[in-house]
Amino acid sequence: MMRQYELVERVQRYKPDVNEALLNKAYVYAMQKHGHQRRASGDPYFSHPLEVAAILTDMHLDEATIAVALLHDTIEDTSATRAEIDELFGPDIGKLVEGLTKLKKLDLVSKKAEQAENLRKLLLAISEDVRVLLVKLADRLHNMRTLHHVPESKRLRIAEETMDIYAPLAGRMGMQGMREELEELAFRYINPEAYRTVTERLAEMSERSKGVLGDIEKALSAQFEKYAIKAEVKSRQKKPWSVFRKMETKALSFEQLSDIFGFRVVVDSVEDCYRALGSIHTTWSMVPGRFKDYISTPKQNDYRSIHTTIVGPSRQRIELQIRTREMNKIAEYGVAAHSIYKDNAGKATNGAGHTISKETNAYGWLRRTIEQLADGDNPEDFLENTKLELFQDQVFCFTPKGMLIALPRGATPIDFAYAVHTDVGDTCVGAKVNGRVMPLMTELKNGDEVEIIRSKAQVPPAAWESIVVTGKARSAIRRATKNAIRKQYSGLGARILERAFERAGKKFSKDSLKSVLHRLARKDIEDVLASVGRGELSSNDVVRAVFPDYKEERATHPAKPREEGWSKIRNAAGMLFQIPGRSTAPSRKEQKAQGSAVPIRGVSGDLPVRFAPEGAVPGDRIVGIMQPGSGITIYPIQSPSLMAFDDQPERWIDVRWDLDEGSKERFPARLSVTAINAPGSLADIAQVVAANDANIHTLSMIRTAPDFTEMLLDLEVWDLKHLNRLISQLKDNSSVSDARRVNG
């Protein structure tokens, strides 16, 4: 185990003016607090925070970050408190340590939800100070290095969490070295057989290729000397996980991989990068489509380099990365290469105390992502969306004005629209890609110019959620869908309350609800309206809340047999739910009832409406039944199913048809058809339905006899006249014995 003075010496090598007192105090305090605690390996627990600190010294981080590494488990696993750490080490270090502490006593149903809430807390802490991220990744790296000591039942879960979240997070922050080690360690436990096979094949290939790799290095070095370019050339081998992932995603065998080995060219300046590229391309042929310039267009994690593939010496395909020494450092250590932390004045500074004026792209991306994802998602959604945002492979697209938009591979114009702005995504109705109108599910490619076509009347369809690949788009679509549903329920609730207040002889206004929100246990007026629309809050309760002296006069049914009581309700309701175009003119009483009834336009209207299984069509007298949480279910007044609600009058809603002329919406109806058992009978029935411009939604055989088959048809028709005409023509068909409507 590393001693106190050894830790101080490690930091002194890159920061001579190190605050030794801070490191010594943190070392002693953490060792005392962890006391006799042991790790799963049997080692003293304090060896873990010490190893985490050592990993961070390799990144040349400041002494405050090293102190946080030593203290990071004290609040979670010992008797230490935030107040005590604040007093001894200052509130800045105390805040960082608390940011690394998992939430305790989570009252959550699933392990996934608990994992998500801890991740949310961690990311919010990271967004305030990047040092939280650096310590957490070092903590995870040491835990993965010692995972073999953990009980086998926990290894897979920890490895999967590392592969899903922490390795991509390291990659997003540009810390490629840490990402590769985390992936390799996780791969070892997630798929041990594949890991062993790939590792063995790589070792064999490396041994066979030593001579060839050396020859290529010499040829490239000689080429650069010829052009007076000072360059360091070094071969590199793909990591096992990278090889396995490529084999899986592209369905390739190990022998088909052509880029297992690559070469890194490190030069002194950006100018030398392009000179080196020119010398290579003028000597060897470039492989088309394999050139990427991440110097002029850096990745979101600040990675900069030129990638090219050539047919080089020995006629082999050779992958090359050309970069400066500074770029190489950032590619390896990412945000840690900047050593950003905040001093007492709140300025960003590096490990030597020099002010840094610009926040890194990677850290800026992280903060923006957290702001987008942390608001309004439930734990599982947050975890899913965060995983989506952590994928590294990207495409770069442009707006018509030349603004660069970086997106994950597989992104669509919908993702592009939401990346520009949430309002652009919400109002997107189409897209032009490179000047041509393309489907919204088109997969975007590098260099595409995307123009979004918008409409203020647009509401993003819920189905978009299965098309998009970015967490921002998915989260925004879910939010818009929830808001649209809430708006529907709110509109329905307002109409129900208008009728309820009218029946009570009172005047309804939304403002009247403000003063009674506390009595209704709702946070705002829209919440009250939506709760009434969903059936969670009774309209009568709202009336009584606004007018405490109001006494409801409930209709009482005489003590008669259930069927007789039902008939009375049905007959009374039949007076209320008329439709235009009937043979007899409505009375004044009926007209008044119609005026107070909720207008029904169909399932595509602005209210949360669905139809009973037996259906209802314009021309039917209808009644609405409030279904808590799912809006109104519409029944034809003659449906026996309504008997189930005989003793629940508060759920009955006055409704009426209110269709625009020329409406193209079809409505559901159910028929029972008895057909003769003969070849072609079903075809005859289908032909009659088609000839009458109706649509069969579902068909099922409910009883089969030697001579007859009884079938149930769920149809979609325009109205009652259309349905009656269809029934009449079915009865006239020689293949049909009987056809009748099913009302329940």
CA neighbor of 548 nearest in space, from 578, 583, 506: 506
427 confidence band (pLDDT: 50, 70, 90): very high
Average pLDDT over the chain, rounded to whole? 81
Other CB atoms within 10 A of residue 649 CB:
12
Residue 668 has pLDDT above 70, yes or no: yes
Residue/partner pairs of 499-506 with CB below 8 Å, 24 or more apart: 499/539, 499/596, 499/597, 499/598, 499/654, 500/539, 500/540, 500/542, 500/543, 501/543, 502/596, 503/596, 504/543, 504/547, 504/550, 504/552, 506/543, 506/546, 506/547, 506/550
Q: Where are the beta strands (DSSP E) in 217-371?
A: 231-237, 261-267, 285-286, 292-293, 306-311, 317-324, 341-342, 348-349
33 confidence band (pLDDT: 50, 70, 90): very high
pTM: 0.57
Q: For residues 177-194, give the mean pLDDT.
A: 93
Mean pLDDT lowest among 218-227, 280-289, 586-595: 586-595
Provide CATH code, domain 4-196.
1.10.3210.10
Whether residue 451 contacts residue 424, with contact meaning beta carbons closer than 8 Å, is answered with no
Q: Does domain 393-460 have CATH number 3.10.20.30?
A: yes
Distance CA 306, CA 529 (A): 58
Active site residues: 76-77
Q: Where are the beta strands (DSSP E) in 499-637?
A: 598-600, 609-611, 622-627, 631-636
Residue 43 has pLDDT above 70, yes or no: yes
Q: Which range, 28-42, 313-327, 696-710, is most confident?
A: 28-42
Distance CA 342, CA 135 (A): 15
Residue 574 has pLDDT above 50, yes or no: no
Mean pLDDT lowest among 57-61, 557-561, 564-568: 557-561
pLDDT at 214: 86
Share of the chain above pLDDT 70, in %: 82
Distance CA 689, CA 664 (A): 18
Residues of the chain with CATH 3.10.20.30: 393-460
Q: For residues 371-397, give the mean pLDDT.
A: 61
Residue 339 has pLDDT above 60, yes or no: no
pLDDT at 357: 33
Q: For residues 642-653, give the mean pLDDT.
A: 83
Distance CA 136, CA 178 (A): 12
Q: For residues 325-331, give the mean pLDDT.
A: 89
Residue 634 has pLDDT above 50, yes or no: yes
Residue 376 has pLDDT above 70, yes or no: no
Collapsing DSSP to helix, strand or coil, 293 comes out as: strand
The amino acid that residue 605 corresponds to is: G
Query: Which residues does residue 447 pair with via DSSP β-bridges, in sequence order?
Result: none
Q: Which residues contact 585 (CB under 8 A, 6 or more apart)?
A: none
Give the model confidence (pLDDT) of 578-632 as tens digits. 333 333 334 433 444 444 577 776 666 667 888 988 899 998 889 888 887 677 8
Query: 599 to each of 118, 528, 602, 605, 607, how far by Cα in Å?
Result: 47, 21, 9, 10, 9
Q: Which range, 237-251, 648-662, 713-727, is most confident?
A: 713-727
Query: Which residues does residue 658 pair with via DSSP β-bridges, in sequence order?
Result: none
CATH class of domain segment(s) 209-333: alpha beta
Whether residue 330 contacts residue 302, with contact meaning beta carbons closer than 8 Å, is answered with yes
Residue 177 has pLDDT above 80, yes or no: yes
Query: 370 to each of 117, 129, 406, 468, how far by Cα in Å?
Result: 13, 13, 17, 19
Collapsing DSSP to helix, strand or coil, 418 comes out as: helix
Residues of the chain with CATH 3.30.70.260: 667-741
Distance CA 161, CA 381 (A): 16
pLDDT at 363: 65
Number of H helices, E strands in the chain: 30, 23
Q: Which residues contact 391 (CB under 8 A, 6 or more apart)?
A: 168, 408, 409
Query: 710 to each of 196, 495, 681, 701, 733, how far by Cα in Å?
Result: 62, 42, 12, 6, 15
Residues of the chain with CATH 3.30.460.10: 209-333
pLDDT at 105: 42
Question: Between β-strands 317-324 and 306-311, what pairing exists: parallel, antiparallel or unpaired?
Answer: antiparallel
Provide CATH code, domain 667-741.
3.30.70.260
Distance CA 94, CA 72 (A): 10
Residues of the chain with CATH 1.10.3210.10: 4-196
Q: For residues 19-30, give the mean pLDDT.
A: 93
H or E, element range at 691: helix 681-691
CA neighbor of 600 nearest in space, from 521, 557, 540, 660: 660
**pLDDT, greater one: 102 or 510:** 510
**pLDDT, greater one: 109 or 388:** 388
Distance CA 276, CA 320 (A): 11
Mean pLDDT lowest among 134-138, 230-234, 530-534, 602-606: 602-606
Residue 251 has pLDDT above 70, yes or no: yes
